[in-house]
Structure 1
Amino acid sequence: MALKTILHLSDLPNLDHVPEIYSTCFSKGLDLNRASSFRIPKFMVIGHRGHGMNILQSSDSRMKAIKENSILSFNSAAKFPLDFIEFDVQVTKDDCPVIFHDDFILTEENGTIFEKKVTELCLAEFLCYGPQKETGKEGKCLYRKTKDGKFVKWNVETDDSLCTLQDAFQKVEPSLGFNIELKFDDSAVYQQDHLLHILQVILQVVFEFARDRPIIFSTFQPDAAQLVRKLQNNYPVYFLTEGGASIYYDVRRNSLGEAMKVCLEGGLQGIVSEIKGVFKDPGAVPKIKDSNLSLLTYGKLNNVPEAVHMQYLMGIDGVIVDFVEEISQTVDDMIKPAKEMTREGKGESEANSKLQFSQKELSFLLKLIPELIQF
């Protein structure tokens, strides 16, 4: 049964090793002593799974350049003017938080493809897939399932070994923020105690190794989102939603309006929506902002510079992108004119006005976009 009640810290078992308050701050000076005071300082660019996700059947070489969710991918992304990288965290059977997107690991044995659930593997089993850190040691070949049901070898131009959450904290450029997606299986039903245990295991690693690194938690699992917010008051928690692109049994996942309710009821700091959901319902943006919630987006359209620029004008707070080099440059070009004009003494409001469409043009575009977006 889904977790229905908001828990009090005094009701939660085994929290001895999870500090109630862990003070931190953004490297750029934003105070995060309390997550409730979190405010995004500017339009953020976040690298999706690091340098970008892998789509193995894509004709675009950028989608197969670097193994996603790897230390190499994270540090490659750090070379560009990003604020955060986003990655997916699951917990192994022996309680180690690891970074991997898919629910299952696919490999070939004796000509047959086998799938093994990541959360049912111990750490040693998980790490035996893909390239190995030890010289001369060969890992098991990784496969991936395409949307049309085919199995393809997970071949990329530059491969890297699988990694843990602790590895990321210790080996990734320390000024780069982490958007930690708490990954759960959409088809699974999580009991309260199990959900709590998973979050505690992840939080213990975060509190031990985060130091001053900026952190944002996000998850599609509404109960997990509200619970991780209840468990700690140090880092902001965002609720992930497809904004209606897919329909789920849990109605809280089916619209931006429902996402707002999850955030307001649980004291969360923001929403991360599929950009199609926002473009389909642009009127939700001012409602979200009026509720003092931040709004980030993800999705393929965020790899299109014009779509990113449109979001900047709409007041969206940031984008999760695959083409980190191109989009970070696009955002720099958008923001730079305002900065230059402000330095020249013309004032920020005047500088911003130079970047925007007229109110009539913007209104027209916001009415037109939902007609162009097809789910």
Structure 2
Amino acid sequence: MLTCLSVHLPAENTILSFLTAYRFGAKMIEFDLQLTYDNIPVIFHDYEIEVETKEGVKMHETINRLTLDQLLKLRPLKKAPDQITHAMSKIKHHRLSRSTGDLHQVTREEIDTHLPHPDVIHGGYSTFQDAFALVPQDVGFLVEIKYPNLAMQNLRNFTAPERNKFVDIILNIVFNEAQNRRVAFLTFDPDIAILLRAKQFRYPVLFLVCCETPNFYNVFDPDVNVHDTRGNSIMNAIAFVKMVNLDGIVCDSESILQNHSFVKAVHSENLLLFTYGSRNVDPVNVKVQTELGVDGIIADNMTKLSKRVRTCMDASLSD
């Protein structure tokens, strides 16, 4: 059995980062779900995690080969300041909150001063159920279900969870925990998308695509099968989404900024259009997409976007 003592901890996909993003204006929080070895959905972006054994050997292990207990015992290689733990304990005190009113008892100053760098939010690993318990009810969830393509599974010699079982586990938690919370599902995997729609109609299902970008065929993406025609172009994605009765697509903002006509193409089929990508932290790009009618914009760094928006507003006022 692998004994995991330490880990490189990513800043995203933590409860504290969710709360901070909301304080900076996010209406919904997007996060990634994977399944542990003992079938517990956990919030984690990458398929692998770098661990260090007690002998000091660093190695990569896939999330679905770790139990929840093993994952939760992992700790950052650099210990986070004690003040962060204190801030999280105050947030947990309001774990049953149904509104963000209680969240304001954890002040903006407390969050800001407890961070080692203003653009980096630390926190531990969490389960899907933790998110429902710790994040106020009026914060919406954009739940991305991660599913590695066969190339990724073969490369790292692991087997992904069976799709039908994976979806059932996720939906069971949502049905029991969501109450009135806004929830929507995202996935790059077209078969996961079909299952999500076939099993429920209450929550929107959106198909993630990264096509129409310069490096689509040249950069290895563990989520995407570039040869699957259902998602290797935006027009194909629109046709697929219509055929299986999904609610919309989510594409890289690069595609929309380079070709504005895609917005009309999606909306003409009565579908939602969301975007993601590094260009969404630029308020100019956000403004362009808003004016085009993009329905939702997913930004990786709300603190940075908020600062840039304030800078732009200050500059316009000084003019």
Mark yes or no: TM-score above 0.5: yes
Q: Which amino acid aligns with 1:123?
A: L
Shift of 1:249: 2.3
Residue 298 of structure 2 aligns to a residue whose secondary structure is: strand
Shift of 1:102: 0.3
Give the equivalent residue in structure 1 for 2:57: 112
Structure 1 residues 240 and 292: CA distance shift in structure 2, 3 A: same
Aligned equivalent of 1:308, options 264, 267, 286: 286
Q: Which amino acid aligns with 2:258?
A: K
What are the Cα deviations for residues 250-282 of structure 1, in whole angstroms up to 9, with x where unaligned?
A: 222211111102210111111110011222332
Report sequence identity in percent.
Answer: 34
Higher mean displacement: 184-193 or 309-318: 184-193
Q: Do the aligned partners of 2:148 and 2:160 also contact (CA within 8 Å) in 1?
A: no
Matched, 1:318 2:296: yes
Residue 230 of structure 2 aligns to a residue whose secondary structure is: helix
Give the equivalent residue in structure 2 for 1:93: 37
Matched, 1:251 2:229: yes
Give the equivalent residue in structure 2 for 1:83: 27
Residue 166 of structure 1 aligns to a residue whose secondary structure is: helix
Give the equivalent residue in structure 2 for 1:162: 125
Shift of 1:178: 0.2
Which structure 2 residue ranges, 5 or more long, are not aligned? 1-7, 83-115, 218-225, 313-319
Q: Do the aligned partners of 1:309 and 1:331 also contact (CA within 8 Å) in 2?
A: no
- Tell me how far apart the structure 2 counterparts of residues 176 and 213 of structure 1 sit (CA, whole Å): 7
Number of equivalent positions: 251
Higher mean displacement: 258-267 or 290-299: 258-267
- Tell me how far apart the structure 2 counterparts of residues 267 and 333 of structure 1 sit (CA, whole Å): 42
Residue 115 of structure 1 aligns to a residue whose secondary structure is: strand
Larger Rg: 1
Q: Do the aligned partners of 2:209 and 2:249 also contact (CA within 8 Å) in 1?
A: yes
Give the equivalent residue in structure 1 for 2:242: 264
What are the Cα deviations for residues 173-196 of structure 1, in whole angstroms up to 9, with x where unaligned?
A: 211000000011132499999100
- Tell me how far apart the structure 2 counterparts of residues 126 and 239 of structure 1 sit (CA, whole Å): 29
Q: Do the aligned partners of 1:93 and 1:122 also contact (CA within 8 Å) in 2?
A: yes
Structure 1 residues 204 and 283: CA distance shift in structure 2, 3 A: same
Give the equivalent residue in structure 1 for 2:46: 102
Give the equivalent residue in structure 2 for 1:357: none
Aligned equivalent of 2:254, options 270, 276, 280: 276
Moved over 3 A (4+): 155-158, 188-193, 325-334
Q: Do the aligned partners of 2:279 and 2:285 also contact (CA within 8 Å) in 1?
A: yes
Shift of 1:329: 8.0
Which structure 1 residue ranges, 5 or more long, are not aligned? 1-55, 57-63, 136-154, 335-375
Structure 1 residues 178 and 193: CA distance shift in structure 2, 3 A: closer
Structure 1 residues 160 and 193: CA distance shift in structure 2, 3 A: closer
**TM-score, normalisation: structure 2:** 0.71
Q: Do the aligned partners of 2:274 and 2:294 also contact (CA within 8 Å) in 1?
A: yes
**TM-score, normalisation: structure 1:** 0.61
Matched, 1:231 2:199: yes
Q: Do the aligned partners of 2:51 and 2:59 also contact (CA within 8 Å) in 1?
A: yes
Please give the root-mean-square deviation of Cα atoms over the aligned residues, in Å: 3.0
Shift of 1:316: 0.9
Structure 1 residues 328 and 225: CA distance shift in structure 2, 3 A: farther
Shift of 1:236: 0.2
Give the equivalent residue in structure 2 for 1:240: 208
Residue 230 of structure 1 aligns to a residue whose secondary structure is: helix
Q: Do the aligned partners of 2:230 and 2:237 also contact (CA within 8 Å) in 1?
A: yes
Structure 1 residues 105 and 330: CA distance shift in structure 2, 3 A: closer
Structure 1 residues 192 and 226: CA distance shift in structure 2, 3 A: farther
Q: Do the aligned partners of 1:244 and 1:253 also contact (CA within 8 Å) in 2?
A: no
Shift of 1:68: 1.2
